[in-house]
Amino acid sequence: MLQKSLAQLFGSLLGLVLLVTVSTRAQNAAPKPADREMERVQAMISEAKKEAEQFSKSGGQAVDANNPNRKWAETLWSYRRKHPGTPATTLATTEALRLLVRADRVSEMQAKADTLKLTDAAWKQVITVLLGAAIRKKDYTYFISKAETLAQNSIDPELKAKARFVIGEGYWRKGDIDQARIAFQTVVTQYPKTSYGEEAEGNLREIEFLNVGQPAPLFERATIDGDPFSLGSLRGQIVVLKFWGTY
Amino acid sequence: MGEAPLLKELYAQYKDQGVTVVGISLDEDIKPVQEMVISKGMSWSQVLDADKKIRKLFNVKGTPTYYLLDRDGKIAAKDIPFKKLSDAISELLKK
């Protein structure tokens, strides 16, 4: 009796495993529609990149009307209009805005960014695009007002943390160290133990202790050959520190 | 990484004038670092920052990142692009 039901249980488990295997195979064979959409948008982005490279090699300037980035920004933006609310749309939105910045169409980019609702999933990336545009144009007004709105009013805690963090970066790039410090301090206090919290802490240390003219932090440890090494022992020499990786 | 041969030239050019290079690898394993140091002939000091302490001290966000220190151990330049390094070193040597 017990043996029989065990055999049945085993049989049905086997069946389940087979079923799962078969359906996984089926998924692998035919990509899900969402993946196909993602691939479609990625294909547009790499085509845009290729055309932009050719354009710039042949002497084209960012502001030129025939900069392919303009055309591709339109294409990606109309993709957004036709397919609202998917991950592929988020990517298309971000790239459309990024390409407009590359084509030096910052006010057009801002007008489009203004149409995004506060809850749009693209904001997490778009806010970085806005920072890039601000740095490029050395005008942080629009970026800071948008990021401030997100930091205060978004309901997504990760976006709030990121927005506050990039506000700090924006002020730092702008040279407004006091405001940068306030923003990073807020991130550390309000979002401790997140990656933004940790990065903000690093930036605060850099702002205080890693300026040109300040003594470099000292460290000691064995070299990869096992010899003792101390940075302090190099006093009297000019030192190039290179942080690198084999990867 | 791609700059290793250029850094090697720079090191050869300046090492007899009191300039040294310290490589801080952000790798987790020592082996690939040792192999690359040998294969590229990087003869300056190399340490491994597997515990991430040194990169935190210098708030390093990516690779490659260069810091230039003067003879007093003070920061002369941070996050300086490789192509500006040689000029910055010559400036320091004049002091």
Chain B environment of A210 (Cβ under 8 Å):
58-59, 75, 78
Q: How many domains does chain B have?
A: 1
Most A CBs within 10 Å: which of B11, B42, B46, B55, as the mutation test of the A interface? B46
Nearest to B68 among A225, A232, A240 (CB): A240
Has residue B23 got a pLDDT over 80?
yes
- Assigned token pair, A20: 């799962």
pLDDT cut 70: percent of chain A above it: 87
Q: CA-CA distance, A157 to A203, in Å (whole number)? A: 21
Residue A195: in which H helix or E strand, if any?
helix A195-209
Residue A1: predicted pLDDT: 42
A231 vs B45: CB contact, 8 Å cut-off? Answer: no
| pLDDT level of residue A2 (50, 70, 90 thresholds) | very low
Those of residues 24-53 in B touching chain A at CB distance below 8 A are 24-27, 30, 32-37, 45-49, 53
Residue B95: predicted pLDDT: 85
Q: CA-CA distance, A190 to A153, in Å (whole number)? A: 15
Asked if residues A200 and A168 have their Cβ atoms less than 8 Å apart, the reply is: yes
Structural domain range at position B69: 4-94
Residue A247: predicted pLDDT: 84
B1 vs A244: CB contact, 8 Å cut-off? Answer: yes
- Write out the CATH class of domain A120-209: mainly alpha
With vertex at residue B63, the alpha carbon angle to CA A223 and CA A238, rounded to the nearest 5 degrees, is 55
Domain of residue B52, CATH code: 3.40.30.10
Residue A4: predicted pLDDT: 46
What number is the average pLDDT over the span A153-160?
96
- State pLDDT tens for residues A52-92: 999 999 999 998 989 999 999 999 999 999 998 899 999 99
Has residue B26 got a pLDDT over 90?
yes
- State pLDDT tens for residues B38-89: 999 999 999 999 999 999 999 999 999 999 999 999 999 999 999 999 999 9
- HSE-CB of B80 using CA atoms within 13 angstroms: 21
Has residue A129 got a pLDDT over 60?
yes
A212 vs B63: CB contact, 8 Å cut-off? Answer: no
Average pLDDT over chain A reads: 90
Residue B34: predicted pLDDT: 95
B18 vs A214: CB contact, 8 Å cut-off? Answer: no
CA A25 vs CA A18, A22, A35, A37: distances in Å: 11, 5, 16, 20
| pLDDT level of residue A34 (50, 70, 90 thresholds) | confident
Asked if residues A238 and B20 have their Cβ atoms less than 8 Å apart, the reply is: yes
What number is the average pLDDT over the span A118-145?
97
User: In chain A, which residue's Cα lies nearest the Cα of B14?
Assistant: A238
Has residue A164 got a pLDDT over 50?
yes
The edge-to-edge listing of strands for the beta sheet with B19-25 is B45-48, B19-25, A238-244, B65-69, B75-78
Residue A33: predicted pLDDT: 83
Residue position matching structure tokens 């979002």:
A191
Those of residues 5-24 in B touching chain A at CB distance below 8 A are 7, 10, 14, 18-24
DSSP B95: -
Has residue A17 got a pLDDT over 50?
no
Query: Helix crossing, A68-82 with A33-57: angle to 10°?
Result: 160
| pLDDT level of residue A139 (50, 70, 90 thresholds) | very high
Q: Exposed/middle/buried for A133, CB within 10 Å: 0-12, 13-18, 19+?
A: buried
Residue A6: predicted pLDDT: 47
Q: Can you give the residue ranges of every domain in chain A?
A: 41-115, 120-209
Has residue A28 got a pLDDT over 90?
no
Q: How many CB pairs under 8 A join A and B?
A: 148
Has residue A19 got a pLDDT over 50?
no
The interface predicted TM-score of the complex, written ipTM, equals 0.97
Q: CA-CA distance, A180 to A166, in Å (whole number)? A: 9
